[in-house]
Amino acid sequence: MEKRRYYIVLFALGLLAVVYIVKLFSLQVVNKKYTAQADQNAKRYITEHPARGLIYDRNDSLLVYNDAAYDLMVVPNELRAFDTSELCRVLDLTKEQVEKKIEKATKYSKILPSLFEQQISKEDYGYLQEKMYEFPGFFVQNRTLRSYPHPIAAHILGYVSEVNEEDMENDAYYQIGDYIGKSGIEKAYESVLRGEKGKRVVLVDVHNREVGSYDNGSEDVCSVPGTSIWSTLDLRLQRYGEELMKNKRGSIVAIEPKTGEILCIISSPSYDPNLLVGTARPKNYGELLNDPKKPLFNRALMASYPPGSTFKLANGLIALQDGIISPSTVYSCSGGGYHIGSHVVHCHNCGGLNIYSAIQRSCNTFFCRAYYNILSNRKKYKNIDEAYTAWLDYMMSMGFAKKYETDLPYELKGSIPTAAYFDKKYNNSWNGNTVVSMGIGQGEAAVTPLQMANMLAVIANKGYYIRPHVVRAIGKRDSLCTLYSEKIYSKIEPQHFETVLQGMKMVVTAGTGRGAKIDGIEVAGKTGTAQNPHGADHSVFALIAPADDPEIVIFCLVENGGFGASVACPIASLMAEMYLNGEVKRTDLEKRMKELSFR
């Protein structure tokens, strides 16, 4: 009996030992759940964010670079009791803010790292790093911040900010806390600039301190830096243009006509792009957004203005192409202007003018008559709708009423109505005189400064343009970008551009734009005064230089500046002088333009 009891106890102990062994084997070998949890306690997976690509101007001057910054991350499951007041003091947060951030992170994931506080400066990071052992569940992740050595070109360089849900849904590359280009070059070339993320696996001790890499870095993946970009911008010209436009509203767009490369694109008022970097960004963005001067609004791409008399150049080309006029055609300007019943489009009794002198003197009567005759040409078009549609096709072939769809985010296409619009507005009862104001750049015509600069490129190139763009090379300065190199031809024959260009030369030598003269450089130009129903007229000037072998075209518009000859003309001329000569000798004129204010 005793022996039997002994074997029963021995069997029970053996069975218990087997159960324990099986259970331990299951926990340690078969079931990976607890192994993974143990690893999570010892290993930390840190995303290595790549440095974004740099952005240069066309001459190798650095426009955008990266500066060191740090993100504080949190893993909710690793949180232990910590001194909340101390964390609040270190990060300048309230207790409520800390609690909300932890709650948000917990909703995202209890086991994955979440962004707690972004873009901590180098100075604050140094102090925080000394305190990290007091905050279990938190760790710091390296980042870079965009930095701008020159506080210019904010609208065209753009900015980066934290991704939103839509960004993450559209591209699996992004996770909560990542950054993405939101405007300008940063947005258009996001996939080029962002690089590729890496991963680092480190061991941490019980005090939340890193003690080295895991398994000699066998699981680490190196990040790949973003690719650098060379823009088409000329730093010196961009900076000079912004100085001239200080305390003014408006825009300057300068293009190299042979390539379509934008040399400068200025929207005033502007802002320092450094304001939208780091932890101060939300506050600064709110202030800029609510500023009544609208510094965030890109007038060069998004504002539609009546083009004023500079539009006469395009209408003159169409009249020549359609055979409405020839270079020798003379129209008489008398009686105070162009008469439509009791209504008068006022002019200066210019006398008998051909196309050259009409451009030189900016004669309203000449271009009203030419425009009326274009739309009344029943030898070629059977009715007003057909004639107007043909006119609009000519305009669109010169780049109006459409987007260029290049690397310029958020551009608008302006507004030039269709024949159907006028049919509806005037109940199918209208003619050339009904819309004759469009012949001189008023009425329903509205264009962007970029489109007007592009029209000048068409004239400079004697009939074609290359879509305007702001990136010249990717990866290396000599790796020229060929995305935008196609020549887009207008419907105007080359000889007609020679005629218009000659008239533009006369504008500068002895016409309304004599203030555009530059010693040693032949300049072609056209003044404009765009009517503004909300206040003083806008001052407008179109410039091509050198006239016979153009290297630059400039369109300048100063809101409420009055006559084109008084403000926009000298500003555009100073810009051309700076670009072509590398300096400005007309310092008195320069000083006067900088001091002008039309706020």
Q: What is the pLDDT of residue 16?
A: 73
Q: Could you write out the DSSP letters of every residue in 469-501?
A: BSEEEESSTTSB--TT--EEE-SS-HHHHHHHH
In a domain, 20, yes or no: no
37: confidence class by pLDDT, cuts 50, 70, 90: very low
What is residue 132's DSSP assignment?
A: G
* Of 231, 255, 272, the domain-final residue: 231
The Cα 48–Cα 445 span in angstroms is 52
170 and 239 part of one domain: no
Which two structure tokens, joined as six digits, stand for 232?
């088409």
Number of domains in the chain: 2
- Three-state secondary structure string covering 447-462: ECHHHHHHHHHHHHCC
Where is average pLDDT lowest: 118-122, 150-154, 359-363, 535-539? 118-122
* CATH code of the domain covering residue 86: 3.90.1310.10
Average pLDDT (278-294) is 90
Assess if residue 290 is contained within a domain.
no
Which residues does 303 contact at the CB level (< 8 Å), separation at least 6? 251, 297, 448, 449
Please give the DSSP secondary-structure letter assigned to residue 439: G
The secondary structure of residue 298, as a DSSP letter, is -
d(CA 191, CA 576): 35
pLDDT confidence of residue 497:
98
Angle, helices 312-321 vs 494-510, to 10°: value is: 140
Beta pairing class for 229-231 and 55-56: parallel
User: Is residue 240 located within the same domain as residue 196?
Assistant: no
Residue of 591, 537, 56, 5 whose CA lies nearest to 306: 537
The answer to whether 521 and 580 have CB atoms below 8 angstroms apart is yes
Verify that 214 and 255 share a domain, yes or no. Answer: no
Best CA proximity match to 266, nearest among 305, 233, 300: 300
Q: Do 221 and 97 sit in the same domain of this protein?
A: yes
The residue with greater pLDDT, 123 or 251, is 251
Residues 475 and 536 in one domain: yes
- What's 278's DSSP letter? G
Domain limit, last residue, from 231, 251, 273? 231
**Alpha helices, DSSP H only, in 398-448?**
419-425
Within a domain: residue 575?
Answer: yes
Res 342 pLDDT > 90: no
Q: State the pLDDT at residue 382.
A: 95
Q: How far apart are CA 367 and CA 388, in angstroms?
A: 16
- Looking at 231, 250, 272, the residue that finishes a domain is 231
Strand order through the sheet with 250-256:
261-268, 250-256, 552-558, 538-545, 524-530
Residue range 349-368, pLDDT digits in tens: 899 999 999 999 999 999 99
Digit-coded pLDDT (tens) for 189-241 = 999 999 999 988 888 776 666 677 777 777 888 889 999 999 999 999 999 99
Which comes out higher in pLDDT, residue 55 or 532? 55
- 33 inside domain: no
**What pLDDT shows up at residue 200?**
85
Is residue 177 a part of any domain in this protein? yes
Confidence of residue 393 (pLDDT cuts 50, 70, 90): very high
Please check whether residues 57 and 124 belong to one and the same domain. Answer: yes
- Quick check: 39 pLDDT over 80? no
Residues 452, 584, single domain; the answer is yes
> What pLDDT band is residue 46 in, cutting at 50, 70 and 90?
confident
Indicate if the pLDDT at residue 110 is higher than 80: yes
Asked if residue 4 is part of any domain, the answer here is: no
In a domain, 478, yes or no: yes
pLDDT above 60: residue 545: yes
Residue 518 — pLDDT band, cuts 50, 70, 90?
very high
Say what the pLDDT of residue 188 is: 95
Instruction: Examine the domain organization and report whether 502 and 545 are in the same domain.
Output: yes
Does 7 fall in a domain? no
3-class secondary structure, 418: coil
DSSP bridge pairs for 139: 73
488 beta partners = 465
What's residue 109's pLDDT?
83
pLDDT of residue 11: 66
Residue 7 vs residue 58, higher pLDDT? 58
Residue type, 454: N
pLDDT at 21 over 80: no
Q: Which of 43, 37, 35 is nearest to 212 (CA)?
A: 43
Q: Are residues 215 and 241 in the same domain?
A: no
Q: Write out 229-258 in H/E/C secondary structure.
A: EEECCCHHHHHHHHHHCCCCCEEEEEEECC
Quick one: pLDDT at residue 360? 96
Lowest mean pLDDT across 136-145, 236-245, 289-298, 303-312: 136-145
**For the ranges 73-77, 261-265, 320-324, which has the lowest average pLDDT?**
73-77
Q: Does position 29 have pLDDT exceeding 60, yes or no?
A: no
Higher pLDDT, 483 or 384: 384
Q: At CA 115, angle to CA 110 and CA 119, rounded to 5?
A: 165
Same domain, yes or no: 156 and 267: no
Average pLDDT, the chain: 90
Residue-range definition of the domain harbouring residue 141: 44-231
Q: Are residues 347 and 220 in the same domain?
A: no
Return the percentage of the chain with pLDDT > 90, whole number.
67
pLDDT at 280 over 90: no
Give the Å distances, CA to CA, from 414 to 303, 304, 450, 452, 528.
Answer: 8, 5, 10, 11, 18
What is the CATH classification number for the domain harbouring 242?
A: 3.40.710.10
Residues 489 and 541 in one domain: yes
Residue 36's pLDDT band, with cuts at 50, 70 and 90, is very low
